[in-house]
Structure 1
Amino acid sequence: MPILLTRALPILLLIGSNILMTFAWYGHLKFKDKPMLAVILVSWGIAFFEYCLVIPANRWGSDVYSPAQLKGMQEVITLTVFVVFSTWYLGQKITLNHLIGFALIAAGAFFLFRAPIAAAA
């Protein structure tokens, strides 16, 4: 498989899985009048398809990324998807405090891709 596809496919799968999981975790907030058991079952159904994407993303991604890098990517993707979902689907406003908090998490992920910093002696 070409190296570009080897590196990009896990990212694309993580994006897809995060879209599904965001709907599974937060989509039901627009349906508060529905019975809890119904929304749990629908969420589980969505989560099944999310797992069908995230497991291959992590398995294939581990050929080119470390588990920590995969987790860092997943967190940044999750926050990006959440911001879009929250504003578009839930009609929520994203504040500067939200953006600063998300940026700090993204900064942490940035260091997962840097060369190791030597420990002080």
Structure 2
Amino acid sequence: MPEQKLRCEQPKVEPGGGGINVARGLKRLGLNSQAVFVAGGPPGEILKQLMAREGIDQHPVPTEAWTRENFTVVDASNNQQYRFGMPGTELIASEQAQVLATLAGLDPVPDVLVASGSLPPA
């Protein structure tokens, strides 16, 4: 109901994003992968910790802007999800170059590359 306080359960914090979810899925299937992603500010630090906790080989590229966060609310009475996606920020030219350099330096060179992510609003 609007304007009323809603009591919540303890939140669950997970790493996410298209490419990160692919890396997590591969890990659960027993396959190795390397995750290259941008990470900035406190949310970026949390993302790196979550990825390390899952044992995923990661290559974070630091950014000036904070890593965006999204959240999902689940209505426990009917298990329906409400998903909130926050706007992303632009990568500056040097950060874009660092992403490409990181990809070029992956060892071993991957057989498959999954490129995923959202563009910031124009």
TM-score (ref. length: structure 2):
0.29
TM-score (ref. length: structure 1):
0.29
Higher relative contact order (CA 8 A, sep 6+): 1
